[in-house]
Structure 1
Amino acid sequence: MNRIQILMYHQVGDFPAMESHRATYCDHRRFGTQMAYLKMFGYKVLSMDEVLQCVRGDKPIPPRAVAITFDDAYENFYEYALPILHRHNFPATVYAIAGMLGGSADWLIADGHQAPPLMTGARLRELLSANIAIGSHSFNHIRLGEQTSELALNEALKSKAALEDVLGQAVDHFCYPYGSHNLQTVEAIAEAGYKTAVTCERAPATIGDDPLTLPRKAVAWGDSLVGVWWKMHMKNTPKRPLIRR
């Protein structure tokens, strides 16, 4: 139907019930079921490079198009999500926080959650041979839409350079921390040389979308398979237009 459902995950693993930050967690059994569903029903899982080609109109959007993304680069991705993606031969993109590689997600502590470990640079390099692309999630994981244009540009440039140094290859894809962005932020991401950037706006990506404000659907801890289907096919919100110069 000429649209791409870009799914947003964070952690995948075995978690207790929680009341807050539910979109930061996905039970590994449910994740396995979700990926098996995509495979069984013929969804075409695209890389972000392919998403870019589609929204630009360089290639047609295939039926039942999906892209799979993971924010923050949690270490549990390697243990739980990667084997499932590998089983189905699905590409995915992991957005890493360049200034926190090998650190922990300390921002979760304030809400009573643990601070799980983040992948190291060496771990990210391992993923490259497993059909996993690495994108930037800024350098310091701050709300870029609340910063000056100069600081946003510095975050974009610094994170890109740091990750490219670690990986030894270009980093073309960006993810706005907390989904926070405005026109100045988007222009900073463009100036830094990124080809795509993803938001937290709940809508499908379509031909003609700005590649630097692509929407996504968050998959949360409590989402059943029916709930994920509903999010993909029924739950949409209007996209926020940001017209770049």
Structure 2
Amino acid sequence: MSIAERGFLTEDRIEARAGNRRGFCSRDIVCRQGDPVGEIYRIERGTVMLYQILRDGRRQVVDVICTGDYLGFGDGSVQDCFAETLTNCEVTAWRIDDAQKCVVWRDAFSRAMQRKLGAMHDHVTLLGKKTALERVASMLMRFVPACSGRLCPGTPPAGYAELTHEIHMSRQEIADYLGLTLETVSRAISQLKREGLIEAPRPSQIVIKDLCRLCRLAVLH
């Protein structure tokens, strides 16, 4: 008996059946905190910021996710956070009842959640033990996945000179992600510039000048 005959669907068949590949512009809301969970989304292209709003209006950015990551599953019944696009994005959406029948989808989702669990542990360590400067350095190292965290080979990438990245988050959003104030983030970036680790030609752009020193400052290697 085939998988489909047993009531399970392949991921391709679910995508064809649901047909809901969607495009979002920068700063669109994909789902809202408190909404019922009806669909689960996979990011195919782009970057999304997840945040919670407390009853008194304060915001905590809980994650920044990108291609291959999933969102929208909340606590199983309601969305536990807002999902706001930081860039133009494409996502694939599955209805919950369809997704639960897909063996291929469940395997891919499980692997993605394992990676996310490790990232969450790293972020708890960042919030609990790292200084403000180390937190900002860790945030910047996220833009160099081949040389950050457990993947750091101990040497810069071949041909490395400097790395330029567009920062799609405001300074306040970075502060809300790192558990810092806006003023503290601004001071940390200024210090990194004075020490020659980075340049900031524009508020939305960071140039990493000394990758290894930044990596060590982030306590990643």
TM over 0.5: no
TM (normalized to structure 2)?
Answer: 0.26
Larger relative CO (CA 8 A, sep 6+): 1 or 2? 1
The structure whose residues are more often strand, as a share, is 2
TM (normalized to structure 1)?
Answer: 0.25
Instruction: Select the structure of larger CA radius of gyration.
Output: 2
